[in-house]
Copies of this chain bind each other. A is one copy, B any other.
């Protein structure tokens, strides 16, 4: 049973800063890659979610803790799970791992609100909500195992 989804990103030169490591805001962009690919693994295309279902997953809250720096050209795993799902909100959890030695570089979460194109809060369409709930339950089972 799917409890989380892994996707690989390779650090781009543009993502580094003069400290010689990745600038910290880029981790949030990788988290975005992680949740989009998690949704694709669930059979959903976020692009169509916006276009066909008029449902935008707006970011309401972000947290990231940086344990070790990511560096240029490294291959990283973005491991994404769903921590919580409600009618109108969704919480993703993230672990960022360096593939060469499986070191945990960062952990984080994002909380999202379902909105329509006009920016008004709405409920997630049922197909999404059910899938999100199943994944949140599966992740909770894994965490408590």
Q: How far is the CB of A96 from chain B (nearest CB, A)?
A: 13
Choose one: B13, B21, B46; the contact of A32 (CB below 8 Å). Answer: B13
Q: Is A47 a contact partner of B73 (Cβ separation < 8 A)?
A: yes
Q: What is the predominant secondary structure among interface residues of chain A facing chain B?
A: mixed
Q: Which residues of B lie under 8 Å from residue A119 when comparing CB positions?
A: 69
Copies of this chain, count? 4
Q: How far is the CA of A23 from the CA of B22 in the complex (A)?
A: 13
Q: Is B59 a contact partner of A24 (Cβ separation < 8 A)?
A: yes
Q: Which residues of B lie under 8 Å from residue A12 when comparing CB positions?
A: 29, 32-33
Choose one: B18, B28, B65; the contact of A25 (CB below 8 Å). Answer: B28
Q: How far is the CA of A41 from the CA of B26 in the complex (A)?
A: 26
Q: Quick one: which of A1-29 are within 8 Å of B by CB?
A: 12-14, 16-21, 23-26, 28-29
Choose one: B25, B33, B64; the contact of A26 (CB below 8 Å). Answer: B25
Q: How far is the CA of A28 from the CA of B20 in the complex (A)?
A: 19
